[in-house]
A and B are shown apart, each in its own frame.
Chain A
């Protein structure tokens, strides 16, 4: 099956620093999504990307859909303590019999020191 490699696995940063994380895949995705999950809660959608090369922002978050359609990155600028959580990339393949399900990366645990 499809596999996503997400890195880094964890990050410890100081408040105000910028953060970057990325996902790569062995196969092509039609859509890339980035979610944030806090302990005991469900993943919350941050950004969705639909076209190769697309660069999309949501406040301090910026994400890009790689040209090859096999990768995506998420940047968080000027981090704040409430950015703490696990960030998951997810790829969606809408071709063939995949039926729109998401395949998740392993997650990046972000810790922000005030």
Chain B
């Protein structure tokens, strides 16, 4: 079965550079979530989108922005990168519409960002 696809899997950037991560949800899933996981930490919620509109916002820095496009894929844009932004970034998707929501989020394999 198709899973959540994230790209790139690995990314190395210098401080103050920008980075863009992409997420392709499971086909027919209408909700996308972004999480950040530091070394040895649990995933922290950043932001989510439902039907291409921002649904909820967590601990996402102002330097980061995200959107969901008409084909439901999502991009996380990170600017003015700092050393502390080095982490694994996960995208997850779920299907919420028409009362069929089950609560299950399915995660991609993540994008590892290293800021030097």
Name the prevailing secondary structure of the A interface residues. loop
The interface stretch among A13-21, A55-63, A77-85, A95-103 is A95-103
Give the residues in chain A near B4, CB-CB below 8 Å: 42
The chain A residue with its CB closest to the CB of B44 is A104
Give the residues in chain B near A106, CB-CB below 8 Å: 41-42
Asked if B70 lies at the interface with its beta carbon under 8 angstroms from chain A, I say no
A71 to chain B, nearest CB (A): 17
CB under 8 Å from chain A, chain B span 1-58: 4, 31, 33, 41-45, 48, 50, 55-56, 58
Give, as a whole number of angstroms, the nearest-CB distance from B88 to chain A. Answer: 8
A15-B40 Cα distance, complex, nearest whole Å = 25
The B36-94 residues at the A interface (CB cut-off 8 A) are 41-45, 48, 50, 55-56, 58, 88, 90, 92, 94
A40 within 8 A of B: yes
